[in-house]
Structures are given as C-alpha cells and as structure tokens.
Amino acid sequence: MNWVRPENATLTDPVVINVAPFTPALMPAYPVPQPSPGTPLEAIGDRPMFRLAYRNFGDHETLVVNHTVIVDGRHGVRWYELRPNQNPVVYQQGTYAPGDVFRWVGSIAMDSAGDIAIGYSASSNAIYPAIRYTGRVPGDPSGTLEGERSIVEGGGAETVAQGHRARWGDYSSLTLDPDDCTFWYTNQYLRTNGDATNWDTKISSFRFRACGSAGSRHP
C-alpha cells in the first residue's frame, strides 16, 4: 500500500492459506442451546468474527482472527495467528472448547507484548448466555490458551416467536486501549428472560500483568 501516492499501490491475487480441518457452525444444524424457555441461538458460524486485528512489531507482522466451529457436537472458538510475510503462513492455531459449554461469537486481539486475548459468549442447556474470555502469552505452548475467566454470568434466556431463531451478540468486540496493554471487551447478556429487546450491554476491561512490566504471566 502506498498512502502518499495511492495510484502506486498494488494488489495481488488472493492467497490460499491451509488451516486445520473444521466443521463450520452452520444453521439450522448447529444452534446454540439455552435453558428453558430460551430459543435456540444463531451461531453465525459461516464467517470470520469481528475483527481481524493487525500488528507490526518491526521484526515481524501478525494478524489474529477467529470464527465458530463444531467440536464434539458443541460450539468452540477456532483462532489463528497469521504471519503475512512474502508467503503468508499460519504461525499458530487452536480451538477452544473445554467442557460441555458452547462458545461462539468471539473477538480476538493482541497487545504490545504479543499476548493474545479472546472474548466470547458461552451458553448451554444448564447456563444462561454468559460473557467470558481467555488468553495466552508468547511463552505458552503454540496453539494453546490458558484458563477461562468470567466477565458476567447471564441471568436469563432470549426468547422469540415460535419457529424463529434468535441472533445473539453480533458482533462482540475486543479492542486495545491506547496504552497498548488494556483490552476492552463489549458484548451482550440478559439479566432476566426476555426477547431481543431485553438485553443489556457489558463493557469490561482486563490486561495481562506482564504487559509493559516484569509482572505475573496471568491475565
């Protein structure tokens, strides 16, 4: 890209980047469950989630992105770190789907220390839709994420007219503060059972303690 003389900018043909096999979380085959009286939720698994985030560390550039996939019959967050060199490659990738909880509508970002965080919604037949996150530091084994943290546990399920499916959290957003270490995450939740007009927005922040210091490795 040439921002000074845009007419000198060039575009190349799309590049196919092979990733690990996955089953996309497509509707109507793979809805997200909620406790009664909740309606099955849309997984929006046919596209990457907001947003693909870019960083330039000087010695390398990196892109992180995620989407929703199916793992053992439930939804999980598939994430990638891409290195857009002359020949773009998958630097690392993984799928986060521990336990029996469904996780979807993720958002991913990376701080100035190379720490990665992912926020997402979590639900099942036993828990109302919640907002949670996980992350990793550069020293963690490639393709792995650390333990899950809860931002808020939902107090109700979304209900819609019979025969219809409910959209949820499209799209959640994880972005970096100007301090380049603090993550800000925005997503929806319900305090009580209700339709799509009944939801609340949760805005939260967290950071890895080691970012900008020699502190602990945990977020």
Quick: pLDDT tens for 1-16.
Answer: 899 999 999 988 888 8
53 band by pLDDT with thresholds 50, 70 and 90: very high
Higher pLDDT, 168 or 86: 168
pLDDT at 143: 97
For the segment 38-48, the average pLDDT, to the nearest whole number, is 92
For the segment 118-135, the average pLDDT, to the nearest whole number, is 97
Q: Residue 78 forms beta bridges with which residues?
A: 67, 95
pLDDT at 129: 96
Q: Which of 52-66, 100-114, 153-167, 191-205 has the lowest mean pLDDT?
A: 153-167
Higher pLDDT, 87 or 190: 190
For the entire predicted model, the pTM comes to: 0.90
State yes or no: pLDDT of 189 exceeds 50: yes
State yes or no: pLDDT of 217 exceeds 50: no
